[in-house]
């Protein structure tokens, strides 16, 4: 992004947006301040095969006292490496995992590195409740009654650790899907609740005691 044609400080808001089906929009934004005509580079992730919207706007208070125009030129260059696995989970009972990488647009430098610092443990719920919500406000426009599903999980850690609950069916979904809303609660052995969070949040919880995890959808 290159600016020119001004003599006082200018401030711009740069925003990109991509829409993905059944997921939250992929959004990136940045505030850029130019004290003099110059160029700045920005790097952000995009999803291939989808339209990207780019918006650049100057702050209303930027350049007050100057009647000169502000010229902005920008250049977008796409590059990157496609891999056949977004995440890699190692199972000690399986053979080594193969990852295929392709550079579709231009030559790229690839320097693979791996750090094993997380453990993924699948849990089954100790209790599952499905019920129809009772009031008229809990009906869809078609007249169908909304159902509520409550899943309860119990886990215990001998040592303290950071825990990030993930339910793939619900994580990173927008609210206008077939799941009207989702949230979860975590409580310790004394039934003290930690802060509630939506499945849209990147929530990490520290624990070293017997705990319960409840998911609502």
What are 123-177's pLDDT values in tens digits? Answer: 788 888 888 888 888 888 888 888 888 888 887 766 666 677 777 666 666 555 6
- The whole-angstrom separation of Cα 65 and Cα 192 is 57
Q: What is the mean pLDDT of residues 54-65?
A: 80
| Distance set, CA 44 to CA 17, 63, 91, 155, 200 (Å) | 11, 27, 32, 37, 20
- The whole-angstrom separation of Cα 212 and Cα 68 is 62
Rg (CA), the chain: 24
**φ and ψ at 150, to 5 degrees?**
-120, 120
| 120 pLDDT above the threshold of 80 | no
User: What integer pLDDT is reported at residue 54 of this predicted model?
Assistant: 92
Exposure class string for 120-151: b at 16+ Cβ within 10 A, else e: eeeeeeeeeeeeeeeeeeeeeeeeeeeeeeeb
pTM of the model as a whole: 0.53
- Residue 126: CA atoms inside 13 Å, Cβ hemisphere, count? 8
Contact 4, 71 (CB under 8 A): yes
Confidence of residue 65 (pLDDT cuts 50, 70, 90): low
- The whole-angstrom separation of Cα 111 and Cα 140 is 51
Q: What percent of the chain has pLDDT over 90?
A: 7
31: which 2 tokens? Answer: 């505030």
């Amino acid at each position: 992004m290159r600016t020119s044609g001004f003599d006082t400080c200018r401030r711009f808001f740069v925003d990109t947006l991509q829409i993905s089906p059944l997921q939250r929009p992929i959004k990136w934004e940045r505030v850029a301040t130019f004290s003099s005509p110059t160029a700045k580079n920005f790097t952000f992730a995009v999803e291939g095969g989808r339209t990207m919207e780019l918006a650049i706007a100057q702050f209303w208070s930027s350049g007050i006292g100057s009647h000169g125009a502000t010229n902005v030129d920008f250049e977008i260059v796409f590059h990157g490496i496609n891999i056949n696995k977004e995440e890699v989970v190692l199972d000690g009972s399986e053979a080594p995992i193969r990852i295929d990488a392709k550079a579709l647009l231009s030559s790229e430098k690839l320097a693979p590195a791996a750090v094993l610092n997380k453990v993924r443990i699948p849990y089954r719920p100790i209790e599952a409740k499905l019920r129809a919500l009772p009031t008229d406000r809990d009906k869809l426009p078609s007249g169908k009654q909304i159902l509520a599903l409550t899943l309860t999980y119990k886990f215990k850690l001998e040592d303290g650790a950071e825990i990030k609950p993930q339910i793939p069916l619900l994580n990173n979904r927008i609210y206008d899907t077939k799941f009207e809303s989702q949230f979860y609660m975590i409580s310790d052995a004394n039934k003290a609740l930690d802060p509630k969070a939506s499945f849209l949040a990147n929530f990490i919880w520290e624990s070293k005691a017997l705990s319960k995890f409840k998911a609502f959808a």
